[in-house]
Amino acid sequence: MTKHLNRRGFIKNIAGLGALLSSPAALARIGTPTRRELALHNLHTGESTEVVYWRDGDYASSALTDLNHLLRDHRSGEVWEMDPALLDQLYVLQRSVGVERPYHVISGYRSPATNAMLSSQSNGVAKRSLHMQGRAIDVRLPGVKLSRLREAALALQAGGVGYYPKSNFIHLDTGRVRFW
């Protein structure tokens, strides 16, 4: 089941994207591209994709559909619409570290049932996780030291950044700016 944005969700996404792209540091790093591309590899499903998800000022719906599918809850198979501002965070972050390899995805969307199960097993999983809203992702970027990826994500000031060096990933979300 794919979630469609309502008016409030659309406005929140535009506001989040505006905050991200109005950041002088973020803009300086990406310049004024006419297209934004992402390459992702889901470690749980083995699936990969490389798509141009934004071109000439507009999101490409077929590319977003592909990304939503790749970032689905791998336990339940449920697909959810990922926040485009989160995709833009990934894009800007990758440009800021200068490495063009696919992100390794540990977790994208999580259904409420999956999140509750994970939360019951670990103190590190928030009961009201933004993963359940398609607003969070856990990734690493091969070829980039995790601490460097974290520092670059913090510099964006675009949302939450979690650092999990023992598990070898960072968490990014489109919530308020914070870190742990």
The answer to whether 35 touches 95, Cβ cutoff 8 Å, is: no
* Neighbour count for residue 160 (Cβ, 10 Å): 19
Average pLDDT, the chain: 88
What is the value of pTM for the model shown? Answer: 0.83
- As a whole-number percent, the residues of the chain with pLDDT over 70 amount to 82
| pLDDT, position 176 | 97
Q: What integer is the mean pLDDT of 134-141?
A: 98
- 60-81 confidence digits (pLDDT tens): 999 999 999 999 999 999 999 9
Sign of CA dihedral 62, 67, 73, 75: positive
Position 17 confidence tier, pLDDT thresholds 50, 70, 90: low
Q: What integer is the mean pLDDT of 147-174?
A: 98
pLDDT of 125 higher than 60: yes
pLDDT of 27 higher than 60: no
Q: What integer is the mean pLDDT of 39-53?
A: 98
Q: What integer is the mean pLDDT of 112-126?
A: 91
For the chain, list the domains and their CATH numbers: 7-179 (3.30.1380.10)
Torsion of the alpha carbons at 170, 33, 6 and 158, rounded to the nearest 10: 40
